[in-house]
Amino acid sequence: MDPHVKYRLGKSNGFKALIIILAFMCVIPLLAILAYIIQAGATKINWHFLTNIPKPVGETGGGIANALLGSLMMVAVAAIIAIPVGILSGIYLSENKNSKLAYWSRLSVDILQGVPSIVIGIVAYFWLVKPLGGFSALSGSIALSIMMLPIVVRSTEETLKLLPPSLKEAALALGMPYHRVILKVVLPCGISGILSGVMLSIARVAGETAPLLFTAFGNPYLNADMRKPMQSLPLLIFNYATSPYNDWHDLAWGASLILLAWVLLLNISTKLITRRWNIQL
Amino acid sequence: MDTSIDNNVITRSLENTAGNYILKTPEKVKSNKRISRSYRQIRTENGFRRTLVIMAIAMIVLVFGIFLTLIVQSIPSIKTLGIGYLWGKTWDPVQNIYGAFPFLIGTLLTSFLALIISIPFSFAIAIFLGEYFPKGPISNFLKNTVELIAAVPSVIYGFWGLAVLVPIVRSFENKIDVPPLGIGIFTSSLILAVMIIPYAASLGRSMIQMVPSPLKEGAYSLGATRYEVIRSVILPYTKSGLFAGILLSLGRALGETMAVTMVIGNTSLIPKSIFAPGNTMASVIANEFTEADRTVYLSALIELGLVLFLVTVVINMIGKRIISKFTNE
Amino acid sequence: MEHTIISTEKFNAYFGDNHVVKDVTMTIPKNTVIAVMGPSGCGKTTFLRCINRMHELLPGARAAGKMTLNNEDIYDMHPIFVRLKIGMVFQRPNPFPNLSIYDNVIAGYKLNGIKLSKADRDNIVESSLSKAALWKEVKDTLHKKGTFLSGGQQQRLCIARAIAMEPEVLLLDEPTSALDPISTASVEELLFDLKKNYTLVIVTHNMQQAARVSEKTAFFYMGELVEYDDTKMMFTSPKDTRTQNYITGRFS
């Protein structure tokens, strides 16, 4: 073979090897993090850990029950707000591709997606914490729901846009009114895409700390009142990890493992559900 | 065209079919149950359409509200400190001296350093998934890995960084004769780099997959090696898309708060080297917001938030514009 | 005198500035099969879609003129009422992919929230599927999804779904153009049976089909209704040269 060609082929193979190496190197940090968190947190988790609140500094033991409850409650409330608003907006955008309102609305959703989470926290502070006189879980939930909206709107819009127009036509030709066409025919056919958008948005906000820093603020006690400050898993991790106390570090590791497991489980089940529920068009 | 108006000839613009009709139904038709319930349905139909419109408007109102709130709350700072605030070199709230320059530097340093570190990896993944292994088990493995990297909450990155990365950086700093703090700009950039890999990677991958086969086939048929096709066909074609991916990664880096806050050292001074501690706009807000006890203090922090908001929005918008231009071509 | 079910008078349709249906005046007698034919772009499908008011759903679409169903102006009624009385079968079969065969047939009731007793529902499903010549083939698999049937079966399912609503008129937009010859034959046989209870208006670009199934034929050319006559007359001695040219294949 011509030596020059040999050289070129060698270069090509070398490049491929380089790409493969670089690509797989990215797996290393992920594995390192997973391994470390599992190892550091697994030993800390037990029934006591899950059902007790943190003990004051100096006392061993304690748990993260307040953070668990807080995370569940705040994310649930955020979802209840964001899901209907997001889906309905997504429906509007997919149904009205060319209206002026759709253009500005879509632009707004794009902008919303890029807003840093701490800015959302600032805004939620001035909208809900200051006027109402104190930190509250509700303000935290609203901040989280604002972060969920762009994901839900986008995935709804993209899913519905992919549905064939013959679906709507068939329903309309049967004399169905518009709201039934959308709610009873179009949405059910797009359910897998919409559901995955919802689940991904929940996975995203479950791990968010910054929006809660000045809204829910955190709470060392178990609290189920949305009008008062509440603890959440990410907040607890942040506060306790950066503290100088080893006991609190232990709590933070346990909490990290639980949070990681929750987020990863949501991501994995999203994939499984999308596959099972995908309606053959 | 006949311009005489015949009473029976009516033109209606029928793009919006909701609620513009006089319902004329003779008695015998009204008794049909199916038809009468349709009356109710028509009213619901109009209500539903209106609700959709309201929700779409809500998105616009939300963004406006955020922008407005940021501006209004920054006014005290803008009025008192003026434009010089942005390049003021000293941040000393105790003495009521506010200067944002340390944070601008901190943000720019960490973000750009993170970008430089992450780009080779992002592009490697993009080329790996877009060109060499678009399908199959290896492809799925890497795709899932990248998605998981993006899914890990930033506070966990920060905690891990604090526990694992900081000691490593500290011993490294010992070796190169630099104050062994472990925390600082460099460590933050490392963590940030890992976190932003997925953004340029997934966008890059979609762009690369969109390169039309005929283009590549033309180059192959001339005897080009795979590397040469990548270098002279794929990369030039996707140039703008890859740039947009970089912008998206950058936007993400600029706005990242928690992981950076935990390992950057919370020092409001202009960092003297990349191994020095510092603060970014986001981290100083996170650290000092709840302690800001004076109007100007708080307002100065909010103004940082405003700058952050504007910069990330602009960068994201430019990135998205480039993508839509690319996909519409 | 045959009873007229649909009549139009100087009916026009537009897409923005495009005048696609021009001054159509015709009457359709009850319980007949009317074929509407013409070359591509002549406005026949647009005209059909104006009858059940599906045309106006497209952006920029407009209609003008008079069109009546049983002497009531269709454009004075709310579109939903019109579509309850005038059913449509589309070119590509479009059963609802997330519903079973059973649910597809009664979709017009179920999805509209009309409550029926199980006995009524079963009745409607069986009678509609029988009228659509599909009952025997699917009566044991009614719970399976509609999309698992063959093309011809799917189209007959769509016909069953449309007639389950007991419309007065059934519009068919090139119902067999997406089907293979055997399915086409089965659907055409069906059309002949259906006209006992319904009036059928069929758009077709297949002249042989028009000759086979219809009693009257309307020929559209460039948006105008050029000729409208008994099918036999139209095909043996057309009155207009344009009709003549189309039939002899000068343009398709």
Token digits for A168?
A: 């709507």
Q: Do A281 and C84 touch (CB under 8 A)?
A: no
**Which of helix, strand or coil describes residue B279?**
coil
Q: Do B308 and A267 touch (CB under 8 A)?
A: no
Q: Which residues of chain C neighbour B42 with C-beta distances below 8 Å?
A: 78, 80
Q: Is pLDDT of B3 > 50? A: no
Distance from CA of C212 to the nearest CA of A (A): 27
Q: Is pLDDT of B5 > 50? A: no
What pLDDT is attached to residue B8?
A: 29
What pLDDT is attached to residue B325?
A: 87
Q: Which residues of chain C neighbour A185 with C-beta distances below 8 Å?
A: 96, 111
Q: Is pLDDT of A206 > 50? A: yes
Cα A14 to Cα A5: distance, rounded to the nearest angstrom: 14
Q: Which stretch of A52-56, A157-161, C166-170 has the lowest confidence by average pLDDT?
A: A52-56
pLDDT in tens, A3-30: 888 888 899 999 999 999 999 999 999 9
Share of chain A above pLDDT 90, in %: 71
Q: Is pLDDT of A274 > 90? A: no
Q: Is pLDDT of B164 > 90? A: yes
Q: Which residues of chain C neighbour B11 with C-beta distances below 8 Å?
A: 62-64
Token digits for B141?
A: 């493995």
What pLDDT is attached to residue A47?
A: 84
Q: Do C64 and B41 touch (CB under 8 A)?
A: no
**Are B105 and B267 within 8 A, CB to CB?**
no
Q: Does A24 touch chain B (CB under 8 A)?
A: yes
What pLDDT is attached to residue B125?
A: 96
**Are C86 and C38 within 8 A, CB to CB?**
no
pLDDT in tens, B28-87: 333 355 666 767 777 888 899 999 999 999 999 999 999 999 999 999 998 888 888 888
**What torsion, rounded to 10 degrees, do the Cα atoms B53, B56, B60, B65 define?**
90
What pLDDT is attached to residue A281?
A: 62
Q: Does B24 touch chain C (CB under 8 A)?
A: yes
Compute the count of residue pairs across chains A and C with CB atoms less than 8 Å apart. 70
Token digits for C172?
A: 């068919």
**Are A150 and A112 within 8 A, CB to CB?**
yes
- Cβ-in-10-Å burial (0-12, 13-18, 19+) of B120 comes to middle
Cα B52 to Cα A90: distance, rounded to the nearest angstrom: 9
Q: Do C59 and A188 touch (CB under 8 A)?
A: no
Q: Which residues of chain C neighbour B8 with C-beta distances below 8 Å?
A: 9, 66
What pLDDT is attached to residue B34?
A: 62
What pLDDT is attached to residue C101?
A: 94
Of A255 and A46, more confident: A255
Q: What is the largest CA-CA distance in chain A?
A: 81
Distance from CA of A48 to the nearest CA of B (A): 23
DSSP β-ladder status, C4-15 and C86-89: unpaired
Name the phi and psi angles at B91, rounded to 5.
Answer: -120, 105
Which distant-in-sequence residues (6+ apart) come within 8 Å of C62 by Cβ? B11, B12, B13, B14, C13, C14, C15, C56
Confidence of residue C79 (pLDDT cuts 50, 70, 90): confident
Q: Which residues of chain A neighbour C59 with C-beta distances below 8 Å?
A: 98
The secondary structure of B7-27 as a DSSP string is TT--EEE-S--SS-------H
What pLDDT is attached to residue C2?
A: 65
Confidence of residue B17 (pLDDT cuts 50, 70, 90): very low
Interface test mutation site (partner A, options B55, B111, B119, B226, max chain A beta carbons within 10 A)? B55
ipTM score of complex = 0.92
Q: Is pLDDT of A201 > 90? A: yes
Write down the mean pLDDT value for chain B: 86
Which helix (H) or strand (E) segment holds residue A12: the answer is: helix A3-25
Q: Do B62 and A146 touch (CB under 8 A)?
A: yes
pLDDT in tens, B82-113: 888 888 899 988 888 899 999 999 999 999 99
Q: Do B128 and A20 touch (CB under 8 A)?
A: yes
Q: Which residues of chain A neighbour B48 with C-beta distances below 8 Å?
A: 178-179, 182
**Are A179 and B45 within 8 A, CB to CB?**
yes
Q: Do B149 and A214 touch (CB under 8 A)?
A: no
Q: Is pLDDT of B11 > 60? A: no
Helix, strand, coil share (%) of chain A residues, nearest 5: 75, 0, 20
Helices B281-288 and A117-124, packing angle to 10 deg:
40
Q: Which amino acid, one-letter code, is at B220?
A: Y
Confidence of residue B4 (pLDDT cuts 50, 70, 90): very low
Window A:161-180, CB contacts with B under 8 Å: 175, 177-180
Q: Quickly list H helices, chain C.
A: 44-51, 79-85, 101-105, 107-110, 118-131, 135-138, 151-163, 181-194, 207-213, 231-236, 241-247
Cα B189 to Cα B25: distance, rounded to the nearest angstrom: 72
